[in-house]
Every structure is written in C-alpha cells, then in structure tokens.
C-alpha cells in the first residue's frame, strides 16, 4: 500500500506541476503582447527557485521534516516524504504564480523572483504550518482554534492557505507598485492579447485542479469521490455565472470556472454537491463584480484580477465551508462557522502584513518597478531580449 500512496502522490504532484503551464498560458493570453515571454519565463523560474527554498527551509518549517539529512532513512517508506514534498511544493509555488498575474507589465523580473524566494521559504510555510503542519494553532485537533471554537479550522485543499494568501499578498504588491503607465490617464488597450492562450491556460488549470483537490487526501485509502464531484460542480457553477453576469465575456467565463474551483477547495471533502454548485456560482459572480469594481472604481490595476479571483474567492471558500459544511445542509460533518470565519480573516491579516513588509523591503533595497521607458518597451525586450513572435518584426 505504501508504494500505491507514493504513486498516488506523484501523479498529483505532476498534475499540479502541469497547472503551472496553465498559469503561464493564462497570463500570456491576458497581458499585452510585449509581456508574453516574461510570463512564461517567470512561471518556470519562480517554480525552480521555490523548489530549492521550500526544500531547504519551507517544508522543514511547516512539517518538521528535513529531506537533506538521511536519504536512506527517508526511503524506508518508498520515499513517501519525498513525493509528499513534491506535491506540497506545487501549492507553495502557486503563490508566486498567482502574484505574477497581478503585477505583470511593471514589476522587475528579479524583484518578482526575490519575493518568490521569501514566500516559499518563510511567508507561506509559516501559515501552512498553522493549518496543515506541526504548528499547533489552527487546523489541528487540540489546537487553539479547536479549543476556542469547538472545531479546528478546516481547509482541505487550500482555498485559504494557498489562494486567499496569494491573492491578498498580490493586492499589496499591486497597490505598492501602482498602475501601469497610462492605464488610467489615457488610451490603454486592456483587451487580452491571445484568446486561445487564455482559454488553454484555463483548461490546463481546470484539469490539473482535480489533482490539486482530490490528491489532497495524500493517501490512496483516503481518496473521496465526493471531492471530485464537488470540484466539478463548483467549476461549472462558476462558469455559468461568469458567462451570464459578464454578458458572455470569454475571459470572465474561463476565469469563472477557476473562481468556482478556488472557492470549493476548502470544503470539497465536506459539502453536498448542490452546495458546491452554489458556492461555485457565487464565486463566479464575486469575480465578475469585484473585478469591475476593483479596476474601474478603485483604480487598482490588477491585470489578471488575481485579488478578486484568488484573494476574495479564497476567503469566500473558507467561510462557505463553515456555512455549508453542516449535516443539516447535507454536509458530511459539522464544521464550526466561527472557526472558518476567524481563520479566513486571519489569513487576510497575515497576508497583508507579510506582503507589505516583504515588498517594502525589496523596494527599498532593490526596487520593484520598471522605469517608464522599460514599461513602454515591454518586459520581453527589457529582460529577455526577444519578442514572443520575433519574425513579425523582420
């Protein structure tokens, strides 16, 4: 059975790794053409630096497991700890990928990379340890939350731990950076540059999400078909409301599917499929509504809408688990609404404070923002010295 668990986790890890191709294509398809190469390079480089830092620092902080001590000892269980690290690395590396979509077009390439290093090494693992790991605070039996609210904070697959954290950190970075040059002062084309890329990115993420959610059981014997059907129902719910409330906008339709999947992560092992459909449907409405408010009313230049998509909907997912995770509403067992509400709001506070300190320090020491001239040239030529379609310039 141990070997089956290793294979199970490995398949989940590879599916999450593939999701990062989805992040890259979604960003490249949404941004203007002069920043497409940057999107692809950022995602794979941030995955790589996150891998090193999470291996050396982050994973030991969260779980107390040091993978660089004795390989002989760690291979006794078919190397389960190694593939568990690989699987959970995918969650850690999602944070920089989420942030990338919000700051594209004006953040320096290496500023993004430096932030990814500290997020994977420290900022994310500490909160991860609160909920899933060895820090007996939120998500464990006998934790402080369990004592205060009658039940631990529950986040099965990361609505709060991953998505909310990433989206709220991104908001802080976006505010500190300010809008792209000309975004609100003149004519600025905000249309997606490549609809097929955007759609492909969404579909890759959707498929990978079933590894993200279902494999969060981390053992073959713990696998639940309920998680799979709830993920499906939330995804279609978000797609339907994303299309309807945006009046058939392709970007909102495809991101609506992702909104539903983000919101269902926390309670996917607990809620009824009808509740999952409702949670996903509300998530799609939240994304369409809040993206328009954010960009048009608040004048926050969030290119991919990562704050409403991941931040607000991640928070909604944590709270929704406390609402619908009740036996009276068809849930598997009763979660504590107060625990879910408090944990979800604590994540917002943690992300905002941590993100502010991180990006202010990087800005002071290295600088976050490209120059106006570099912005007009585009990240592709400035940092990578090539355009996405170089033959077009011949």
pLDDT (tens digit, 9 = 90+) per residue, 276-313? Answer: 999 999 999 999 999 999 999 999 999 999 999 999 99
> How far is residue 175's CA from residue 214's CA, in Å, rounded to a whole number?
35
| pLDDT band at 139; cut points 50, 70, 90 | very high
Question: How far is CA 95 from its chain centroid?
Answer: 5
Please state the rounded mean pLDDT for residues 323-348.
Answer: 96
Of 90, 41, 149, which is closest to residue 386 (Cα–Cα)?
41
Structure tokens at 137: 């605070």
Asked if residue 105 lies in contact with residue 35, where contact means CB atoms within 8 angstroms, the answer is yes
Place of tokens 């000309």: 182
pLDDT in tens, 151-206: 999 999 999 999 999 999 999 999 999 999 999 987 888 999 999 999 999 999 99
Asked if residue 191 lies in contact with residue 250, where contact means CB atoms within 8 angstroms, the answer is no
Place of tokens 């339709």: 253
- The rounded percent of the chain whose pLDDT value lies above 90 is 93
> How far is residue 287's CA from residue 377's CA, in Å, rounded to a whole number?
31
Please state the rounded mean pLDDT for residues 13-26.
Answer: 98
* Its pTM surpasses 0.85: yes
- What are the structural domains of the chain? 2-389 (1.10.3430.10)
Please state the rounded mean pLDDT for residues 309-334.
Answer: 96
Structure tokens at 375: 């912005």
Asked if residue 97 lies in contact with residue 20, where contact means CB atoms within 8 angstroms, the answer is yes
């Amino acid at each position: 059975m141990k070997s089956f668990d290793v294979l199970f986790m490995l398949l989940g890890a590879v599916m999450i790794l593939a999701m990062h191709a989805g992040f890259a294509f979604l960003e490249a398809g949404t941004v203007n053409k002069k920043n497409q190469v940057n999107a692809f390079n950022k995602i794979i480089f941030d995955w790589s630096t996150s891998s090193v830092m999470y291996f050396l620092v982050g994973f030991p902080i969260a779980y107390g497991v040091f993978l660089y001590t004795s390989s002989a000892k760690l291979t006794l269980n078919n190397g389960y700890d190694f593939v568990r690290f690989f699987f959970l690395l995918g969650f850690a590396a999602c944070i920089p990928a989420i942030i990338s979509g919000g700051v594209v077009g004006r953040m320096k390439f290496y500023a993004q990379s430096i932030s990814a290093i500290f997020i994977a090494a420290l900022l994310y693992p500490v909160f991860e340890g609160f909920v899933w790991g060895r820090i007996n605070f939120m998500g464990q039996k006998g934790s402080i939350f369990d004592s205060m609210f009658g039940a631990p904070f529950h986040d099965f697959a990361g609505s709060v731990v991953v998505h909310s954290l990433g989206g709220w950190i991104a908001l802080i970075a976006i505010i500190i950076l300010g809008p792209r040059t000309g975004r609100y002062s003149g004519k600025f084309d905000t249309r997606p540059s490549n609809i097929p890329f955007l759609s492909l990115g969404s579909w890759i993420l959707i498929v990978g999400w079933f590894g993200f959610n279902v494999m969060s059981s981390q053992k073959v014997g713990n696998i639940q078909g309920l998680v799979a059907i709830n993920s499906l129902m939330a995804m279609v719910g978000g797609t339907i409301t994303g299309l309807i409330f945006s009046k058939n906008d392709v970007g909102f339709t495809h991101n609506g599917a992702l909104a539903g999947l983000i919101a269902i992560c926390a309670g996917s092992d607990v809620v009824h499929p009808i509740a999952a459909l409702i949670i996903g449907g509300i998530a799609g409405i939240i994304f369409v509504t809040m993206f328009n408010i954010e960009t048009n009313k608040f004048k926050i230049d969030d290119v991919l809408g990562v704050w409403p998509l991941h931040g607000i909907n991640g928070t909604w997912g944590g709270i929704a688990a406390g609402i619908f995770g009740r036996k009276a509403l068809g849930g598997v067992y009763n979660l504590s609404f107060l625990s879910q509400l408090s944990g979800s709001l604590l994540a917002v506070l943690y992300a905002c404070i941590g993100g502010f300190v991180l990006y202010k320090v990087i800005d002071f020491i290295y600088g976050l923002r490209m120059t106006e001239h570099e912005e007009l040239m585009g990240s592709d030529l400035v940092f990578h010295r090539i355009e996405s379609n170089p033959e077009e310039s011949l």
